[in-house]
Chain A
Amino acid sequence: MFDDPSFRRGARESSLLFFATGAFGLAYGVLAVEAGLSPWLATFSSIVIVSGSAQFAMLGLLPAGPVPVLLSAAGLGLRHLPMSASLAEMIGPRSIWSRLRLAYILVDETFGLTVRAHHSGVEDVVAYKTAADLVLYSGWMLGTVTGAWFGSSIDPEAVGIGVFFPLLFLGLAVPLIHKRRDLLVGALAVGVTLIASLTLPQAWQLTAAATVAALIGAGLDE
């Protein structure tokens, strides 16, 4: 597989992801330990979950208890449904092991690259995505391990690293805004979150705000 032109193209085109996800992995490792996870649990979570958004959301919601964490994981997982349906169409009939492997690292970044490569006629979509996934996963794990085991010398409050967590989500939200309806949903989410912060228990604020905003958006015409 390593000699496959599609595999090499996937590795080449995703190489920048190594550094980008490595930086986020580093921040995750530091913040996970700061949030109370042991270094090995922080590392284990990156092995098991492999989802920056779900893992950062988990850290943010840990003080609120397991129910909000699980609800947010389910909510964030919703976006994987159309992604996996789209990927299944692209790869065609494949072995169950290939499908399991591709599902394990079905993340926004390499999915986006794979869709673009598919449209530009890459020969083997599975080899391409496998290479991109390996690059991304290496960066994510290396960053997490470094942050979790060697990041204790960093004082998150003094450095102000905590601000990067919500900023990251702002940065992840912005590319999802394509239409006027998306902008409206974003504005609604801001408003409902602020109202919820004054009226609801902390455990329910984010889930309630996101659900209300998405429900209103789903009822609107494009």
Chain B
Amino acid sequence: MSDLGLILAVGAITFGSRITFLLRPRSAPVGAVGRFLELFPLALFVAIATSGLAAPNGAPEVTEALAAAVGGVCGAVVFRRSLWGVLAAGALAFYLTRALFA
């Protein structure tokens, strides 16, 4: 599949998920399916973050990215779960570690 085709497919999937209940209003899924839908984004975001920060080259390893993860978690606690707090504290930890161990 070409990059253009992939982008169009991702766009179609994203728009399809957004329009579903707006086109024909109905109740959101409930029960176990509803809970799965609610939890999946959290699980996916954490999986992507873990993969990039704790296993950046395909397997778990200790790099400055791991320091960014620790900094990001600390930033989440200190700045009350603020996105910018996570980014700022994570970046600070990353660059400090890089400067100290480069």
Contact of B45 among A41, A100, A170 (CB under 8 A): A170
- Residues B40 and A169 in contact, CB atoms below 8 Å apart: no
The smallest C-beta distance from B6 to any residue of chain A, in angstroms, reads 5
Residues of A within 8 A of B60 (CB): 194, 197-198
- Given A163-B90, A172-B83, A175-B83, do A193 and B47 touch, yes or no (CB 8 Å)? yes
Cβ proximity bits B23-64 to A, threshold 8 Å, 1 near / 0 not: 101111100111111111111111111111111101110001
- Given A177-B81, A198-B60, do A75 and B44 touch, yes or no (CB 8 Å)? yes
What DSSP secondary structure best describes chain B's contact surface?
helix
- Residues B42 and A189 in contact, CB atoms below 8 Å apart: yes
- Residues A78 and B55 in contact, CB atoms below 8 Å apart: no
The smallest C-beta distance from B60 to any residue of chain A, in angstroms, reads 5
The bracket for how many chain B residues form the interface is 35 or more
- Residues B28 and A85 in contact, CB atoms below 8 Å apart: yes
- Given A76-B41, A190-B50, do A41 and B7 touch, yes or no (CB 8 Å)? yes
- Determine which residue in B44, B56, B87 has the highest number of CB atoms from chain A within 10 A of its CB, and name it: B44
Residues of A within 8 A of B29 (CB): 81-82
Contact of A100 among B19, B20, B84 (CB under 8 A): B19
- Given A170-B73, A175-B83, do A197 and B7 touch, yes or no (CB 8 Å)? no
- Residues A81 and B28 in contact, CB atoms below 8 Å apart: yes
Residues of B within 8 A of A182 (CB): 39, 42
In the complex, residue of chain B having the shortest beta-carbon distance to the beta carbon of A175: B81
- Residues B43 and A205 in contact, CB atoms below 8 Å apart: no
Residues of B within 8 A of A190 (CB): 46, 50, 54
Known contacts A189-B42, A219-B32; 12 additional CB pairs below 8 A are: A45-B10, A48-B10, A66-B9, A76-B14, A78-B40, A85-B27, A169-B49, A173-B42, A213-B43, A217-B36, A217-B39, A218-B35
* A-B contacts, 29 listed (Cβ < 8 Å): A49-B7, A49-B10, A54-B10, A66-B1, A69-B6, A72-B44, A74-B13, A74-B17, A78-B37, A79-B40, A80-B20, A85-B25, A99-B23, A167-B49, A167-B72, A169-B49, A174-B76, A174-B86, A175-B83, A176-B45, A182-B42, A188-B43, A189-B46, A190-B50, A193-B47, A198-B59, A202-B58, A213-B43, A213-B46
